[in-house]
A and B are shown apart, each in its own frame.
Chain A
């Protein structure tokens, strides 16, 4: 305020009470200026799709292994893991013949997508004001 002497109007309006700001005012402003709420549903859909792909790839890989002698090769390897040390080249060659690699890759990709999507749905970072 200035150093001018106060007159009757100044003295009267010095009594004008300051109204309290509504209690939720700051929160309302901050809510309107915060980042938009994260959109979750696309990630939920992606997660469900990943689960379906993972199931399908697993089923088809199982069918493929069962129709070849792949299950026998895997059973043999699990029964004698020392084969990996003694004849790694033969083991890899045998696996390469029986494994449905495209289905394994599809299952792996689906698993990665599932973990990623679940992370986005369940562990969103908090909104910054």
Chain B
């Protein structure tokens, strides 16, 4: 007796069609995911041209891995994992000194700051610049979780998959990142 196959998601159907080189199938996949992936890269890298390059490489890698991707799995975590690794490569190349390993060095940025920020901050004309710069000042370990949450609208469950940790660890890291953001924003006032 044949097992009943669950229906594929829209991404899964596009993946199967793209493998068969059906016109428009891969383009549909790109269009579905390009905005969150690009915005994630933009917040990680701070420059639109670099973000576009990294996002483009991410989708090119998707194309070359179509045969190896499980169409029954959610595609987003795979895309963000690739984009994140490529962003970290770019950040490493930019730095003249090597990046610290993931956890090491994070504590020195650790500052308990849970005093609410003044409400006037939200009314600043240069709010977008302030927010972007605040993310850019975070160590990549925290910038990535903030970018995934605020720029790419990922759930903590997804963030956990993307960062290869469990959901609880993703929440903890995000909480620490918010404390850092608060401190960075307060310093910028």
Give me the interface of A with B, judged by CB distance under 8 Å: 1-2, 7-19, 21-22, 25-26, 28-30, 32-33, 128-129
Q: Is the CB of B21 within 8 A of A26?
A: no
Q: Is the CB of B48 within 8 A of A22?
A: yes
Stretch of B71-79, B93-101, B148-156 on the interface side: B148-156
On chain A, the residues within 8 Å of B117 by CB distance are: 8-9, 12
Which residue from chain A places its CB closest to the CB of B121 in the assembled complex?
A12
Interface of B is mostly: helix
On chain B, the residues within 8 Å of A8 by CB distance are: 116-117, 182
Q: Is the CB of A29 within 8 A of B42?
A: no
Known interface pairs A11-B122, A12-B117, A12-B121; 7 further A-B residue pairs with C-beta atoms within 8 A, sorted by A's residue number: A12-B127, A16-B151, A18-B39, A21-B38, A21-B55, A33-B26, A33-B60
Q: Is the CB of B56 within 8 A of A32?
A: yes
Which of chain B's residues 131-189 have a Cβ closer than 8 Å to chain A?
A: 131-132, 146, 150-151, 153, 155-156, 178, 181-182, 185
Given known contacts A1-B155, A18-B151, A129-B23, A26 and B34 CB-to-CB distance under 8 angstroms: yes
Q: How many B residues have CB within 8 A of the partner chain?
A: 38
Interface pairs (21), CB distance under 8 Å: A7-B178, A8-B182, A9-B117, A9-B178, A11-B122, A12-B117, A12-B127, A12-B131, A14-B150, A15-B128, A16-B128, A18-B39, A18-B151, A22-B48, A26-B31, A29-B30, A32-B60, A33-B63, A128-B23, A129-B23, A129-B26
